[in-house]
Structure 1
């Protein structure tokens, strides 16, 4: 079936706006009008990316940043029509399609992902309330995690990167970060260790297990030589996570 003429013109117009050097505009449109549209569309995308990736933006001078944004605007076929999804599309572009030059920072993709996670949690809809005992015993009850958190593992210390700190080699150990939206609706980050990251993963994977059972399993995996000390440490850790809003309380009727 032949494409209707108006759709052909729309596609040609869109291709020109995205990449005017490779795609000529449809005939009969004044260049002054075309220039307005080209500037408007590019500036909209650029504005969203500058707001969503402030640290990444600060690492580029103006020509380098605009070249990166233009590469995204020209080459990436977004799978979502929503402005809210631009940041995620940009991360997909960087991780799967972009061919960085030799001068690009080696942590480019991880830094972009880290900044995107803040956007994800800031804009996430408040989940439906679940039955929970806010003051429940976290050792004998089953800890209930807030869905508004993520545990992130990176090769690079992305939370410390900025114009004055651009590492060239990653640390020997992975960097674990906890990002969450607290009760004041603010997004916060904290660096955690591998044991805390694993405890959070176990809690999510075994929602009916008590805090004591989760810590015992963690101790077995780690080969921890002092289970009692781990239990004491774990109790303080669980309490601290509840205070931050990462743990909402315990599940009703799950005391062990």
Structure 2
């Protein structure tokens, strides 16, 4: 009795499963291994190349064995929600954050580091434009609403992810969180600025209420600190706002 041939759909599934994980899934019987090897290497190397380019710090602090194993598991296990190569990095972050099983070698800052590296890539490729928001570039930062650039993201991490390297691999989070603004300036350069908690709170208040003036936001912070009507905090806050505008984190003032 002859064995029935596979349907084309079954063949496709077996072909794809073998490419994703050749150690666990056999190749279609009618395709010679030399030909399958071309597809195995092409697909995996493309994915590994995109992830290497998006997460260079993570790759540099991970052994080659662990790195390739992690990329292989992503390639095998994750079902992408986008067909675009530029969005592979975002899909990798989603997998690491939501689906990946922890490994014994994992760094405690792994999830935060991949997010930080993805932010840099996301801003570098963002189609947002600094001219998208109509503002007075030289407007009064206290009277009007200081408008944050659409290409500036305010972030908080438990670990100082911007300092991670082969020479700095913290095993425990510091007492104080790390506050960063990652932004792309008018020269299309992605940069970061480490900020303190007060500046992070100021940017948050301004992002939550587009009607809030710079002075109102600073007085709100002063009240939270138990120093209502503090002109000293307003003056110090104005200096901070000016620095943020000079760096193009604040685009200008909206009235």
Q: Specify the TM-score bucket, using the shorter chain as the normaliser.
A: over 0.9
Looking at structure 1, the residues matched to 200 and 93 of structure 2 have their Cα atoms a distance apart, in angstroms, of 23
In 1, are the aligned partners of 2:143 and 2:213 still within 8 Å (CA)?
yes
> 1:228 and 2:241 equivalent?
no
The residue number in structure 2 matching 1:47 is 49
Aligned residues: 249
1:18-97 equivalences in 2 (<5 Å): 18-97=20-99
The residue number in structure 2 matching 1:240 is 243
> 1:185 and 2:188 equivalent?
yes
1:89-238 equivalences in 2 (<5 Å): 89-127=91-129, 129-224=132-227, 227-238=230-241
4+ long deviations beyond 6 Å: none
Looking at structure 1, the residues matched to 186 and 227 of structure 2 have their Cα atoms a distance apart, in angstroms, of 34
By how many angstroms is 1:226 displaced?
7.3
In 1, are the aligned partners of 2:223 and 2:229 still within 8 Å (CA)?
no
SS of alignment partner, residue 138 of structure 2: coil
Say which is worse superposed, 217-226 or 84-93, in terms of deviation: 217-226
> Structure 1, residues 72-92: CA drift from partner, whole Å, max 9, x if none?
111111111111111111111
> 1:14 and 2:20 equivalent?
no
> CA 1:226–1:162 in 2, change beyond 3 Å: closer, same or farther?
farther
TM-score by length of 1: 0.93
In 1, are the aligned partners of 2:219 and 2:228 still within 8 Å (CA)?
no
TM-score by length of 2: 0.93
RMSD over equivalenced CA pairs, Å: 1.5
Looking at structure 1, the residues matched to 98 and 72 of structure 2 have their Cα atoms a distance apart, in angstroms, of 16
By how many angstroms is 1:225 displaced?
6.8
Unmatched 5+ residue regions in structure 1?
none
In 1, are the aligned partners of 2:146 and 2:250 still within 8 Å (CA)?
yes
The residue number in structure 1 matching 2:3 is none
SS of alignment partner, residue 202 of structure 1: helix
Looking at structure 2, the residues matched to 174 and 243 of structure 1 have their Cα atoms a distance apart, in angstroms, of 25
Looking at structure 1, the residues matched to 29 and 50 of structure 2 have their Cα atoms a distance apart, in angstroms, of 31
By how many angstroms is 1:16 displaced?
1.1
